[in-house]
Amino acid sequence: MLDQSELEHDIYLFHQGNLRYSYQLLGAHPTIQDGKSGIRFTVWAPNAKRVSVVGLFNDWDGRQHPMEKVNDNGIWNRFIPDLETGTIYKYEILTNHGHLTLKADPYAFSSELRPNTASAVYPLNQYTWKDEKWMEQRRQLNHYESPISIYELHLGSWKYIKEEEYYTYREYAEMVIPYVKELGYTHIELLPLTEHPFDRSWGYQATGYYSVTSRYGTPDDFRYFVDQCHQNGLGVILDWVPGHFCKDAHGLRRFDGEALYEYENPSKAEKTMWGTLSFDFGRNEVQSFLISNAIYWLKEFHIDGMRVDAVASMLYLNYCKEDGDWEPNEYGGRENLEAVAFIKKLNEAIFNEIPDVLMMAEESTSWPLVSAPTYLGGLGFNYKWNMGWMNDMLRYMEMDPIHRKYHHNLITFSLFYAFSENFILPISHDEVVHGKKSLLNKMPGDYWRKFANLRVFLGYMFTHPGKKLLFMGSEFGQFDEWKDVEDLDWELLDYDSHAHILSYMKQLHQLYKDMPALWELDHKEEGFNWIDANNYEQSIISFIRNSRSSNDQLVVVCNFTPEVYHHYKVGVPRLGTYKEIFSSDAEHFGGSGQTNGVQLEAIATPWQTQGQHIEMTIPPLAISILKKTSTSGEGKRLNEK
């Protein structure tokens, strides 16, 4: 029996939707009661006639360990002595309709390996962390004015032993971390690791929201992975799915015989495009469940941030639905007002509890102020994925260069809104699967042009305002699209072109981290100035990236055609000598070598939007990055050439 005097307040907060640590109240917890060690089981099932704990320990016989109803709002409890960590269990629920169902624990901290579906007892507090230095640095960091480059990763298809046989979290730590660290990324983002029955859902259709998937080991094995990332200077972001859950019988669907975690109204509950169910965001206990779940991952696993999946599907009642399949809100609109309120409440709770984490919204519409604080009318995230930039750029890059001049706005339009949110530029798993082709294979042209297009695209991505995210395999030019049941084509690194792309990414990352102009003012208009946005005939753009120090200014020139131009004039912000510090056309990257090896002296004649200019070689399908290295008082007059 629960100690009512101690837990009454927590139970009250749970039913009010304000218990931020509900996983400490519910679930299976090793404890001592009346001098005996055992497991305390607590579950919320308000519509059940009877709830029992069942498992191998009682031959799955619900008559042996019935639970006691703690309150009228449906919390049930049972202490069972002599059970230990690792005990396999479920809840047997007798519904109001007289049916018996077996359900996994919504708050289970571990689960059986699929295809088995039972929950497993696992303690929260037995791992000893060694990442104190990282956590202290994280508290001091202003991430808005720091480099952030994210390697999006699906563990099982990064590298595996054989199909459906994977390495452990600890083994992945030994392989993944040195690789990602050497490439220069600042963070790893993991596709959802909440327990899920179907491998090919990639974790996006979960049953165990508090269970790290057992495919790769135990919860403490995963803590080790995160700990090792931190000790090696890498942050960890977890893909999190609060918008919907799968319908598998052992999961949350009609948990106690009635709609409990999902909406009762099918028009609000059904996510027909995915075959899943939406959480009932207006139900207080569901709010406690989800808010506590986010805090659980951030606190108990030292996760540095959450990428919140499919936010648009939460915000809009008509998301991917035909007319007649959805009902407007009380004001006649299509916004899910309960979901909007929940998202704001979620972010307020998280930043109140853990103010130094990242909350990133995958939100694909023009909903305003996604990354603004709630007190300013925003949703309260601190970052938003820039899906508009991603869609425009991929559409542009897939075109034959001869046609690009007719669609020049696709590479410039993003700068009209680049500072309306705190953006992340994402090239994620969704863009390289289901027939969309790999990032390299989207590029037009022959073998050489494909790689050149990839280099200029990645260069523009890393010099464009916004933090960066790239899905695994793109860093070495995976030719095939993502094969989620196989691992990456690592053998491609035996070929020069792919090895050159990997080297390119390492040096691009080094440049990115070394140059404050590429991140210090990422979210401020003064961090970017066009030099020439309008040269559509030659498909060339040029711009300036600024930092707080004028000495760190960079001039960036991108050519999206295979033409070479000599003595091309580019306006520059100040007189002096300019040096090309990076060129994607360098021979050691697999380029043609049309680089600017000599110093470029600014000429004191206005050009484009600047008061002076340089003359340079523009390489084919390439990005050139220049930096002023010295100051010349008068500059070089045009007639002195």
User: Measuring CA to CA, how many Å separate 9 from each of 5, 13, 352, 416, 519?
Assistant: 8, 6, 20, 50, 46
Instruction: Report the SS3 class of residue 79.
Output: strand
Q: Tell me whether residue 617 is exposed, middle or buried, using C-beta atoms within 10 angstroms of its C-beta: 0 to 12, 13 to 18, 19 or more.
A: buried
Instruction: Report the SS3 class of residue 128.
Output: coil
The question of whether 362 is a catalytic residue gets the answer: yes
At 324, the amino acid letter reads G
How many Cβ atoms are within 10 Å of 161's Cβ, its own excluded?
Answer: 10
The question of whether 446 is a catalytic residue gets the answer: no
457's CB contacts (< 8 A; 6+ apart) are 393, 397, 439, 443
Length of the chain measured in residues: 641
Residue 459 backbone dihedrals phi, psi, to 5 degrees: -65, -45
Torsion of CA 598, 599, 603, 606, to 10 degrees: 90
Instruction: Compute the distance between CA of residue 486 and CA of residue 153 in angstroms, rounded to an integer.
Output: 14
Q: Tell me whether residue 286 is exposed, middle or buried, using C-beta atoms within 10 angstroms of its C-beta: 0 to 12, 13 to 18, 19 or more.
A: buried
Q: Prior bond to 66 cis, omega within 30? A: no
DSSP 539: T
| Residue 283, Ramachandran bin (φ over 0: left; ψ between -120 and 50: alpha; else beta) | beta
The number of C-alpha atoms within 13 Å of 84 and in the hemisphere containing its C-beta is 0
DSSP 17: T
Nearest CA among 223, 269, 222, 267 for reference residue 247: 269
Q: How far is CA 618 from the centre of its chain?
A: 35
**Buried-exposed string 376-414: b where 16+ CB fall within 10 A, e elsewhere:** eebbbbbbbbbbbbbebbbebbebebeebeeebebbeeb
DSSP 619: -
The residue from 152, 309, 338, 481 that is catalytic is 309
Q: What share of the chain is helix, strand, coil (3-state, %, to 5)?
A: 30, 25, 45
Longest dimension (CA), the chain: 99
The residue from 131, 195, 227, 362 that is catalytic is 362
H-helix segments, 495-634: 496-514
Residues annotated as catalytic (active site), given as ranges: 309, 362
